[in-house]
């Protein structure tokens, strides 16, 4: 007797017309079964698809645009079809249009989903750039689930959404083997001739990058993949970054542009410093690129064998004093040429990646808020809409930003409570009633 095929969980995508449901359906399933267009109401029937994410198989249903209280025949039929999909789904994605803002139909649909009693995630679509992330905050007022900024068209934020939606779905052994964890991308940055290429070769255990005492040997970014303890790392050795005034040749100017681009694309950045020369102003400038990019940062003090152990505390003290904005970054003293203290970097990179991509649920953050003590300001709740870097929105009784000392206190408490290390933390302040004022 044949066994019945194992049932897979189903996700339903719902939302009012023309918010991008079909685009998200196509993105998740990797198919183009749903028609995408600017005219509202193109999708009227339920469209089914199947998908797999991180070894978890599941079904996806794309529904027509729902207007909850519309009495017209076609919208009524769409609502009936959508309710059938909702009955079947184990998790619902409410898709909204971030650029259009929170609308009455969004609220009506959220209330319908609240009565349904199933897990809901709110995906705020059309958040294409970091500047658009503020569009998501008013949707927190719906109060029915975690809120995720996404761009279905450009595949931004979809992985974070699926991480949350599918976290309790079963993992099949076959799928788990076929879908390895994503590689951790690591950019090696620093000024010329501090030993970036030597460090790359030491990490790889082979001479992959050209090493020379002549500054500027590396012009193009060199990348290499290695698997260490079952984890895949992609290392990118960037060209040494010079001050703009000293980059006269076009090739070197392009190297600077590309190095900064690789910082933005990386998960973790290794900032290489030269112990034999000490810190210079350009080190802080380059470190600023990594900090501003919101990447996990590890400070690698190279050529320590030339400087000796004497003065190590003084060097680290000067480093912390001159790179105060990187106080979260761990310091590793090493010799890339000798291969001394290089291997521990793999563990440090993994920890930095895990911190930079960590997401804390709203429930945990609400419990965390109860432990905070601010004399001049009342904090109602905190949410985390973004990772890389972890970004927290603090809803208070005042619209003005937190004082620097309070912001620093809050960031440190978040690090202690949830284990954030080697990554910057961004804190934004919103007044609790701001959302009502904008309606």
DSSP for 405-434, written as a single string = HHHHHHHHHHHHHH---SS--EEEEEETTH
- pLDDT averaged over the chain? 79
For 167, half-sphere exposure in the C-beta direction (CA atoms, 13 angstrom radius) is 10
Q: Is 322 exposed, middle or buried (0-12, 13-18, 19+ CB in 10 A)?
A: middle
Mean pLDDT for 183-191 is: 91
CATH class of the region 10-176:
alpha beta
The pLDDT of residue 217: 41
Distances (CA, A) of 75 to 97, 322, 411: 19, 62, 47
Structure confidence at residue 319 (pLDDT): 92
The percentage of residues in the chain with a pLDDT greater than 90, rounded to a whole number, is 30
Please compute the mean of the pLDDT values over residues 94-114 and round it to a whole number.
Answer: 90
Task: Identify the top-confidence range among 225-234, 342-351, 393-402, 424-433.
Answer: 342-351
Looking at residue 56, its pLDDT comes to 87
Q: Is a pLDDT exceeding 80 seen at residue 68? A: no
Look at residue 80 in the predicted model and tell me its pLDDT.
63
Strand 222-228 with 231-237, pairing: antiparallel
In sequence order, what E strands does 165-316 have? 184-189, 222-228, 231-237, 268-274, 296-302
**74, pLDDT greater than 90:** no
Q: Where in the chain is the domain with CATH 3.40.50.300?
A: 10-176, 184-356
Give residue 251's pLDDT.
Answer: 53
Among the listed residues 330, 326, 336, 327, the one whose alpha carbon sits nearest the alpha carbon of residue 349: 330
Lowest mean pLDDT among 4-13, 40-49, 331-340, 412-421: 40-49
More confident residue, 28 or 214: 28
pLDDT in tens, 19-52: 999 899 999 998 654 433 343 343 344 588 889 8
Q: Does residue 180 or residue 403 have the better pLDDT?
A: 403
Nearest to 95 by CA among 164, 161, 176: 161
Q: Looking at the predicted structure, is the pLDDT value of residue 186 above 60?
A: yes
Q: What is the pLDDT of residue 188?
A: 93
| C-alpha to C-alpha distance for 222 and 235, rounded to whole angstroms | 8
CB 431 within 8 A of CB 396: yes
Among 155-159, 180-184, 211-215, where is mean pLDDT lowest?
211-215
Q: Is the pLDDT of residue 355 over 80?
A: yes
- Predicted local distance difference test score (pLDDT) of residue 67: 57
Q: pLDDT at position 73, please?
A: 37
pLDDT digit string, tens, across residues 276-308? 888 988 899 889 888 988 899 999 999 887 666
Name the pLDDT band for 216 (thresholds 50, 70, 90): very low
Which is more confident, 220 or 140?
140
Contacts of 370 (CB under 8 A, 6+ apart): none
Q: What is the pLDDT of residue 309?
A: 62
Instruction: State the pLDDT at residue 82.
Output: 67
Instruction: Name the more confident of 68 and 361.
Output: 361
Say which residues have a Cβ less than 8 Å from residue 282's Cβ, sequence separation at least 6: 191, 241, 242, 243
The 3-state DSSP class for residue 138 equals helix
Question: What Rg, from alpha-carbon coordinates, does the chain have?
Answer: 25
* The token pair that represents 61 in the structure block: 């249903």
Is residue 371 scored above 60 in pLDDT?
yes
362-438 carries CATH number 3.40.640.10: no
pLDDT band at 210 (very low <50, low <70, confident <90, very high): very low
- Report pLDDT for 38: 40
d(CA 422, CA 413): 15
pLDDT at 387: 84
Q: 184-356: what fold?
A: Rossmann fold (3.40.50)
User: Do 319 and 283 contact (CB within 8 A), yes or no?
Assistant: no
């Amino acid at each position: 007797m044949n066994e019945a095929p194992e049932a897979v969980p189903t996700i339903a995508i719902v939302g009012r017309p023309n918010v991008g449901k079909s685009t998200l359906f196509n993105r998740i399933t990797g198919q183009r079964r749903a028609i995408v267009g600017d005219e509202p109401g193109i999708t009227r029937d339920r469209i089914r698809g199947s998908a797999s994410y991180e070894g978890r198989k599941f079904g996806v249903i794309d529904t027509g645009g729902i207007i909850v209280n519309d009495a017209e025949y076609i919208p009524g039929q769409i609502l009936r079809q959508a309710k059938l999909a909702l009955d079947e789904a184990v998790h619902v994605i409410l898709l909204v249009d971030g650029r259009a803002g929170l609308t009455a139909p969004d609220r009506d649909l959220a209330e319908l989903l609240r009565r349904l009693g199933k897990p809901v995630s709110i995906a705020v679509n059309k958040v294409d750039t970091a500047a658009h992330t503020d569009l998501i905050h008013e949707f927190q007022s719906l109060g029915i689930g975690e809120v995720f900024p996404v761009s279905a068209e450009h595949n931004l934020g979809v992985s974070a959404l699926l991480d949350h939606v599918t976290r309790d779905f079963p993992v099949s052994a076959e799928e788990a083997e076929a879908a390895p964890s994503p590689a951790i991308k690591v950019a090696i940055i620093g000024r010329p001739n501090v030993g970036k290429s030597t460090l790359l070769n030491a990490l790889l255990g082979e001479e992959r990058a050209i090493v020379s005492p002549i500054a500027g040997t590396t012009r193009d970014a060199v990348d290499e993949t290695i698997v260490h303890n079952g984890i895949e790392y992609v290392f990118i050795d960037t060209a040494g970054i010079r001050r703009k005034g000293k980059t006269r040749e076009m090739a070197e100017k392009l190297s600077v542009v590309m190095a900064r681009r690789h910082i933005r694309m990386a998960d973790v950045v290794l900032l290489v410093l030269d112990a034999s020369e000490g810190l210079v102003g350009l080190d802080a400038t380059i470190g600023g690129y990594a900090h501003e990019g919101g990447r996990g940062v590890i400070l690698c003090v190279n050529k320590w064998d030339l400087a000796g152990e004497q003065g190590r505390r003084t060097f680290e003290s000067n480093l912390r004093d001159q790179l105060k904005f990187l106080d979260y970054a761990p310091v590793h003293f090493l010799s890339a040429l000798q291969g001394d203290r290089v291997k521990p970097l793999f563990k440090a990179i993994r920890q930095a990646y895990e911190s930079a991509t960590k997401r804390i649920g709203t429930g945990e953050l609400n419990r965390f808020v109860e432990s905070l003590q601010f004399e001049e300001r009342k904090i109602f709740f905190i949410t985390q809409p973004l990772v890389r870097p972890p970004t927290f929105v603090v809803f208070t009784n005042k619209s003005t930003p937190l004082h620097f000392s309070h912001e620093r206190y809050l960031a440190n408490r978040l690090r202690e409570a949830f284990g954030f290390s080697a990554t910057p933390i961004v804190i934004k302040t919103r007044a609790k009633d701001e959302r009502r004022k904008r309606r």
